[in-house]
A and B are shown apart, each in its own frame.
Chain A
């Protein structure tokens, strides 16, 4: 497996609370991504990063922010979680070839 770790793997949180998901890689890959996966929608890109402090929005970025202060870490923050953000979140890394995925974080907002 590519060296990519997501934490936490599972989380239940209340509506309105902030939540941060962490993606950590040991591959020194330039590109990092956050996707969410929902039934009927496949994988949808939230945000991605093409270098330290270089990030850009994906197709479903509203309600999410990201930060990448080090090559190895890419954080996804839900400033005020809503029930519509209940989903499985995947981090992925890439270095000009195929992307490798983390094991996913199942987030439930109640």
Chain B
């Protein structure tokens, strides 16, 4: 059975801190790994990673994939209160484009 595990499940930091969120996976036919941010409503897309070792960056957020060790990290530098959200990791299979999600990491950034 496909499995995606995120850690930590929750994290409380102060503004300005740097955080690292983890995602490990076991998927039979891996195609890509995706990160989403969920505030009060629908998850919104952050990154898609398909190749090992290539960092994707968007502002203060960055992510990298290790296909040998089967994990990815999401880094957020200089955190702001607006970064408070659930961060979801999902893995896409090659067949049928199914997405399997992890439980999510609840990040709270305090002023």
Give A residues with C-beta under 8 Å from B. Answer: 31, 33, 35, 40-45, 48, 50, 56, 58-59, 90, 92, 94, 96-104
Contacts and interface: CB of A to CB of B under 8 A. Distances in A.
Q: Which 10 pairs, one residue from A and one from B, show the smallest C-beta to C-beta distance?
A: A101-B42, A42-B103, A43-B101, A98-B45, A42-B101, A31-B97, A42-B104, A101-B43, A103-B42, A98-B48
28 contacts: A31-B96, A35-B101, A41-B103, A42-B6, A42-B88, A42-B102, A42-B103, A43-B43, A43-B90, A43-B101, A43-B104, A44-B101, A45-B98, A48-B96, A56-B96, A58-B98, A59-B1, A59-B100, A90-B43, A97-B48, A98-B48, A100-B45, A101-B44, A102-B42, A103-B41, A103-B42, A104-B41, A104-B42
B99 interface: yes
A91 B11 CA distance: 28
Interface of B: 1, 6, 34, 41-45, 48, 88, 90, 96-104
Tell me the dominant secondary structure on chain A's binding face: strand
Contacts, number: 54
Nearest to A102: B42
B98 A99 contact: no
Given A31-B96, A42-B104, A43-B90, 4 more contacts: A48-B98, A59-B100, A90-B43, A104-B42
Contacts of B101: 35, 42-45
B96 A50 contact: yes
Contact of B42 (A44, A59, A90, A94): A90
